Chain A
Amino acid sequence: MLLEVNNLDVFYGAIHALQGISFNIQKGEIVTLIGANGAGKSTTLRTISGLIRPRNGSIIYKGQDITTVAAEQIVRMGISHVPEGRKIFAPLTVKENLRMGAYTRNDPEEIKASMERVYTSFPRLRERENQLGGTLSGGEQQMLATGRGLMSRPELLLLDEPSMGLSPILVQEIFNIIKEINSQGTSILLVEQNAQMALSIAHRAYVLETGRIALEGDAREVSNNPQVKAVYLGI
């Protein structure tokens, strides 16, 4: 078991955003978390990556309790979070953004090799290496955010809506890259509005409804569920 989340309770002031959710990720898996707006998907990722503290519950990563570990340490343990809305450093160049993705690493040669790998996956970024992050198009920013997330060489990648605002062709491309990242050994927790796409590449899925897990199972099983079909797949 790579990651185990037990009975998480998260509050924003009086808002009970996560109401005792539990799920897990096995090594090598793509697990997707789907749900409507405001269901608590981003909150779940922010809690795992240490940006917010849960009131109750625990997060166990590779057998270690990381519930109260600070965000900047969690990256060092091998979890990388590509946040919702990309959060590119606008005044930094593409290269500097990637450099910050590798902040936890020290070997310049290895960092260069990782950067080369990112550029191979996203050739557009190489062309724009010295352009400011804030001047990239939405799709390019998504590529940069994903690439930056990979620069720490994570064992577990948390992706929050990587397809948001992208054209269908780019969505396909991003999902292909996610699959490829996974096939190279990185486990992935994928949060998506585009449930159909997410379910098509995931091994397992959890459906989140207003802070609770409403359904879980094999990705194919979940996509065949009549309710999921009606609500999330629009079939």
Chain B
Amino acid sequence: MQKVSSQPSPVIHEPKASLAWIGQLFLVAVALLALYLVVSNLIKNPILFTQFVVSGLQLGFVYAMIALGYTMVYGIVKLINFAHGDVFMVGAFVSFYAVSRFNLHKWPETAFPGISEGLAVVIGSITVMLLSMIVCVMMAVTIERVAYKPLRDAPRIAALITAIGVSFFLEFFGALNFVFSPRFIPYDRPFEVVAWYIKDGIHRITEGQAPPDNSVTFSNIFIIIVLASILVQFFLQFLVRSTKIGIAMRATSFDKPAARLMGIEVDRVISFTFAVGAAFAGLGGVLYAIAYSSIYTQLGILPGLKAFVAAVLGGIGSIPGAFVGALIMGQAEALTMGYISTPMRDAVAFTILIIVLLVRPTGIFGEPEKEKA
């Protein structure tokens, strides 16, 4: 609703209105151009287009797993936890050590020698993912206790700067030789990636073989990422809607003193929120490493930032918003890579951020922050 003031001041009003008008025109032009690019390319070569959409979905579903943590933590402590992308990175590294050094993914074969190969791979891989998630949870909860909790009553900017500091710490401490490594490391997968192409039916791509022209390829890791991300989304919806701790999370995020009067241990609920977000980021990290097969200690930066943009785009604090925002980000990035140029992929993400902040800072699902009495 518009505020009605008794004394309108046209002097200040007019230039603002015309500026907004120019801005909107510009945005419409950009949107039309993007739409034109998308549609014309879709018509020109629908198969290639579909291929880009598939890789965009893979990215988008990974971003969704990270974005949920950003949005949940923001919802409850109003903090943009910039270290969240690095939790994702740690998830990838933990799985690397589990697989390469400790052969954790092979434990079912060792423990039950007669087990079928497929089952052994599934159980082994899930164990690796669970381990990564647990380590990420412990790390995130520790970070919250040590770095953020003491600043709970400090101005918000203090915690924000601390989050950036924690992020740098994880990236560069991890890069020390005796911790992880400063280099790119080839990642040993806990299971083999199998790819298929679609052209007159679905065919498996054997190793060393290139898929034929005009076909859409996808892999088992693509399917796993999509399924895992959707599962995570449903799990979170269930958690927040239907469980006692989930309702307490929403109550706490709305009004902490009132939550305390109910007997809700606010600090525990906050820790729990960080834990849930970290578990999903850890899982995302493992799947990302399996999909892209090379890791280094700064691998969380860009996916983290893009997931942050996704959360803002969807409306920070909103769980469905983070999901939808992430899928849009994935498509924007993949289509940019396909039709404009690969280096533009990052620029597009931040262009979206700027546009959202200019046009609708509350994002798609966000509501303007209400003043509390």
Give A contacts to B, CB under 8 Å: 49-51, 70-73, 75-76, 80-81, 83, 85, 87, 89-92, 96, 99-101, 103-104, 148, 152
Contact B257 A51, beta carbon cutoff 8 Å: yes
Q: Mark B260-298, 1 if CB is under 8 A from A, else 0.
A: 111111100000000000000000000000000000000
Which residues of B approach A to under 8 Å, CB–CB?
244, 247-248, 250-251, 254-255, 257-266, 370, 373
CB distance A51 to B261 under 8 Å? yes
Which residues does chain A contribute within 8 Å of B263, judged by CB atoms? 72-73, 75-76, 103-104, 152
What 8 pairs across the A-B complex have the smallest Cβ distances? A75-B263, A104-B263, A87-B258, A71-B260, A103-B263, A103-B262, A89-B251, A100-B262
* Cβ–Cβ contact A83 & B265, under 8 A: no
Q: How far is the CA of A131 from the CA of B263 in the complex (A)?
A: 23
Verify A103–B264 contact, CB threshold 8 A: yes
A196 and B247 alpha carbons, distance in the complex (Å)? 39
Closest residue to A93 on the B side, CB-wise?
B247
- A75's nearest neighbour on chain B, judged by CB, is B263
Cβ contact within 8 Å between B266 and A72: yes
Which chain A residues border B266 with CB–CB below 8 Å? 72
A123 to B73, CA, bound (A): 37
Chain B residues positioned under 8 Å from A96 (CB to CB): 247, 250-251
The residue of chain B having its C-beta at the shortest distance from the C-beta of A152 within the complex is: B263
Chain B contact residues: helix, strand, loop or mixed = helix
When distances are taken between beta carbons in the complex, the residues of chain A under 8 Å from B259 are: 89, 100
Find chain B residues with CB under 8 A from A90 CB. Answer: 254, 370
A87 to B372, CA, bound (A): 10
Residues from chain A with Cβ under 8 Å of B373 in the complex = 85
Closest B residue to A105 by beta carbon equals: B263
A89 and B258 within 8 A (CB): yes
Whether B265 and A72, one on each chain, are in contact in the complex, defined by CB atoms closer than 8 angstroms, is: yes
Q: Which residue of B lies closest to A97 (CB)?
A: B251
B19 to chain A, nearest CB (A): 35
B245: nearest chain-A partner, CB-CB? A103
In the complex with contacts A72-B266, A85-B373, A99-B244, A92-B251 CB distance below 8 A? yes
CB-defined contacts of B261 to chain A, threshold 8 Å: 49, 51, 71, 75, 80-81, 83, 87
Chain B's closest residue to A148 (CB) is B262
Inside 8 A of A104's CB, which chain B residues have their CB? 262-263
In the complex, the chain B residue whose C-beta lies closest to that of A99 is B247
A-B contact pairs, 22 of them (CB 8 A): A51-B260, A71-B257, A71-B261, A72-B262, A72-B265, A75-B263, A80-B261, A83-B258, A83-B261, A85-B373, A87-B255, A87-B261, A89-B251, A89-B259, A90-B254, A91-B254, A96-B250, A99-B244, A99-B247, A100-B251, A100-B259, A152-B263
Shortest C-beta distance, A82 to chain B (Å), equals: 8
CB of B345, distance to nearest CB on chain A (Å): 36
> Chain B CB within 10 Å — which of A75, A91, A101, A103 has the most?
A103
Sample of 12 further A-B pairs with CB below 8 A, known A100-B259, A100-B262: A51-B257, A71-B257, A71-B261, A83-B258, A83-B261, A85-B373, A89-B259, A91-B254, A96-B251, A100-B264, A103-B244, A103-B248
